């Protein structure tokens, strides 16, 4: 991916700080609203049935538009789309914070999701432009970028509790405003400019894939409530399949498609995206049900339960920044990824042994640190391989695909594991043994998914051959 103007070396790490802040914010916006939901329900008149859409409106827009965001990043320039995404996120945050009713709140959350769908793939493309020529620096940059995700998730829970308790719920959205303004001010100064790319936006393809992914995510997140075998779930799921099939057919016929289907002929790109999908499907349910166990079984309030996750988050960040890059250099990305998925599986199995009369120090902390070690080792190589396996001119598309894989995996995994948990007692509030059984079943289900990821990586992923330090093979052995 050529550039007209790249920032001096001294600025590149400042640029990475802004890129990591983007990842931090995108993830934080999915978790910060959790503690605020009860007060939002009381103030805005949400029913119990539609309250979950404060979360889902963001996820559906985010997941549905990621591929389009990645393609626009390639066509119009990553820096331009990155800035546009921050502007849209800022506007959505203002709308959500000022909302006086259900419709306005959900509109604001959907606009935030649109902004995130523009920011996420552009951020990864900018990272590759800044660091892709140096394999060792790229590994460090991806590690710092990856560490921003768990930091954002925990910060969301932590800050959501503080803001809701000491300020008011609109400030969980207004918090985005100064950060977005700073990012908009820094982007022209720090980020490289990409050369113009010939091509046009495949409008039909964009509509089909956005509708297909959006409807698919909608079906997934609604399935636990509506029922997996209900007519609503089956019909909406069928509509998603038809839309995505029509998208694939349209891409095969176009000379300049939104997504070149041949991109998946690279086995490592396909395998790395499967790993990211399964990683999201295992990790997000673990995070979700561990939070519920801390609050509903151990009796911690929202703020202490968020604080209880800080050791795990710190461990993930240290693993991503310090351990994963060194292990990749020592044994290669494939073995590091397999090791990470295996360790994550072991951590989830240990967590599934939690007790209804347990404690944080015995039932949560040791096992959560094992799971955190696995996540930190699996995330960096899978993300790096997904990005480095694509053509340089398709960096934005590859970024959009890998983000989509993780988000779809997260939504599908959470919906499926929620059904498993409910069928094993997780819906019996106040019955601590039943709740514990349900959460244990959920964690076992997540362990099965992580183990499937380890097996798929062994079978499918090829060991990259050593290559010179170019953007064609930016992940070091």
Spell out the domains of the chain, with CATH numbers in brackets: 1-201 (1.20.1250.20), 265-477 (1.20.1250.20)
Please check whether residue 447 is in contact with residue 316, taking contact to mean a CB–CB distance below 8 angstroms.
no
Residue 5 phi/psi, 5° resolution? -150, 120
pLDDT reported for residue 465 = 55
pTM surpassing 0.75?
yes
Tell me if 62 sits within 8 A of 117, measured CB to CB.
yes
* Structure-token pair, residue 430: 């106040």
Alpha-carbon span 435 to 351, nearest angstrom: 14
* 167 C-beta neighbours (distance < 10 Å), count: 12
Query: What's the CA gap between 430 and 165, in Å, rounded?
Result: 24
Per-residue pLDDT of the chain (477 residues; tens, 9 = 90+): 444 444 555 688 899 999 998 888 888 887 777 667 777 888 888 776 566 678 778 877 887 788 888 888 888 888 999 999 999 999 999 999 999 888 999 999 999 999 999 998 899 889 988 887 787 788 888 888 888 877 777 777 777 777 777 788 899 899 899 999 999 999 998 998 876 566 667 778 888 888 888 788 778 777 877 888 899 999 999 999 999 999 999 988 887 787 877 777 788 888 899 999 999 899 988 987 887 788 789 988 766 777 787 888 888 888 988 899 899 989 999 999 999 999 999 999 999 999 999 999 999 999 999 999 999 999 989 988 888 777 776 777 777 788 778 878 887 888 788 888 888 988 787 899 999 999 999 999 999 999 999 999 999 887 755 444 443 333 332
Q: Give the span between the Cα atoms of 325 and 316, in whole angstroms.
A: 13
- Using an 8 Å Cβ cutoff, are 341 and 437 in contact? no
The pLDDT score that the predictor gives to residue 198 is 65
SS (H, E, C) the chain: CCEEECCCHHHHHHHHHHHHHHHHHHHHHHHCCCCCHHHHHHHHCCCCCCCCHHHHHHHHHHHHHHHHHHHHHHHHCHHHHHHHHHHHHHHHHHHHHHCCCHHHHHHHHHHHHHHHHHHHHHHHHHHHHHHCCCHHHHHHHHHHHHHHHHHHHHHHHHHHHHHHHHCCCCHHHHCHHHHHHHHHHHHHHHCCEECCCCCCCCHHHHHHHHHHHHHHHHHHHHHHHHCCCCHHHHHHHHHHHHHHHHHHHHHHHCCCCCCCHHHHHCHHHHHHHHHHHHHHHHHHHHHHHHHHHHHHHCCCCHHHHHHHCHHHHHHHHHHHHHHHHHHHHHHCHHHHHHHHHHHHHHHHHHHCCCCCCCCHHHHHHHHHHHHHHHHHHHHHHHHHHHHHCCCHHHHHHHHHHHHHHHHHHHHHHHHHHHHHHHHHHHCCCCCHHHHHHHHHHHHHHHHHHHHHHHHHHHHHCCCCCCCCCCCCCCCCC
Q: Which token pair is 323? A: 């351990």
Neighbours of 463 (CB within 10 A): 11
pLDDT given at position 470 = 40
- Output the pLDDT for position 8: 58
CA dihedral sign, ordered 109, 115, 118, 119: negative
Is the torsion defined by CA of 451, 454, 458, 462 positive or negative?
positive
| Contacts (Cβ under 8 Å, ≥6 apart) of 446 | 281, 282, 283, 285, 286, 348, 413, 417
Tokens of 79: 């820096």
Give the CA angle between residues 413, 419, 420 to the nearest 5°.
85
Q: Using an 8 Å Cβ cutoff, are 473 and 136 in contact?
A: no
pLDDT attached to residue 9: 59
Measured distance CA(66)–CA(63) in Å, rounded: 6
pLDDT at 82: 94
- CA-nearest of 66, 177, 60, 45 to 107 is 60
Residues in the chain: 477
> What pLDDT does 243 receive?
94
- Tokens representing 157 are 């829970």
pLDDT at 196: 56
Query: How far apart are the C-alpha atoms of 394 and 417, rounded to whole Å?
Result: 34
């Amino acid at each position: 991916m050529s550039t007209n103007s790249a920032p001096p070396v001294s600025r590149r790490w400042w640029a990475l700080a802004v890129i990591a802040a983007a990842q931090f914010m995108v993830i934080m916006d999915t978790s910060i609203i959790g503690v605020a939901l009860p007060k939002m329900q009381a103030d805005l008149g949400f029913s119990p049935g539609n309250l979950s859409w404060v979360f889902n409106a963001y996820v559906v827009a985010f997941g549905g538009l990621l591929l389009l965001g990645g393609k626009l990043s390639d066509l119009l320039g990553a820096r331009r789309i990155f800035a546009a995404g921050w502007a849209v996120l800022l506007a959505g945050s203002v709308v959500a914070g000022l909302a006086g009713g259900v419709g306005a709140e959900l509109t604001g959350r959907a606009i935030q999701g649109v902004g995130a769908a523009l920011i996420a793939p552009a951020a990864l493309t900018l990272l590759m432009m800044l660091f892709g020529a140096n394999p060792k620096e790229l590994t460090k940059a991806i590690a710092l970028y990856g560490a921003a995700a768990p930091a954002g998730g925990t910060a969301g829970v932590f800050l959501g509790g503080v803001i809701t308790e000491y300020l008011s719920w609109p400030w969980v959205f207004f918090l985005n405003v100064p950060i977005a303004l700073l990012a908009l001010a820094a982007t022209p100064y720090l980020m490289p400019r990409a050369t113009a790319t010939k091509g046009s936006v495949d409008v039909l393809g964009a509509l089909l894939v956005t509708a297909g992914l959006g409807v698919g995510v909608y079906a997934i997140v609604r399935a636990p409530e509506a029922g997996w075998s209900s007519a609503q779930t089956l019909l909406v799921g069928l509509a998603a399949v038809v839309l995505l099939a029509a998208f694939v057919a349209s891409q095969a016929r176009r000379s300049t498609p939104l997504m070149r289907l041949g991109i998946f002929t690279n086995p490592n790109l396909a395998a790395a995206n499967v790993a990211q999908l399964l990683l999201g499907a295992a990790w997000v349910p673990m995070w979700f049900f561990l939070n519920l166990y801390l609050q509903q079984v151990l009796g911690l309030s929202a703020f202490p339960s968020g604080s209880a996750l800080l050791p795990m988050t710190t461990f993930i960040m240290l693993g991503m920044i310090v351990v994963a890059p060194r292990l990749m250099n020592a044994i290669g990305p494939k073995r590091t990824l397999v090791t990470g998925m295996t360790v994550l599986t072991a951590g989830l199995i240990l967590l599934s042994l939690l007790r209804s009369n347990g404690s944080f120090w015995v039932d949560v902390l040791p096992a959560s640190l094992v799971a955190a070690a696995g996540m930190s080792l699996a995330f960096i190589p899978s993300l790096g391989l997904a990005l480095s396996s694509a053509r340089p001119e398709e960096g934005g598309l590859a970024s959009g695909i890998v983000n989509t894989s993780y988000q779809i995996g997260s939504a599908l995994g959470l919906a499926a594991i929620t059904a498993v948990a409910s069928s094993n007692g997780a819906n019996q509030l106040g019955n601590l043994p039943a709740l514990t059984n349900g959460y244990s079943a959920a964690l076992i289900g997540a362990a099965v998914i992580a183990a499937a990821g380890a097996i798929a990586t062994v079978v499918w992923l090829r060991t990259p051959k050593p290559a010179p330090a170019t953007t064609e093979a930016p992940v070091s052995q």
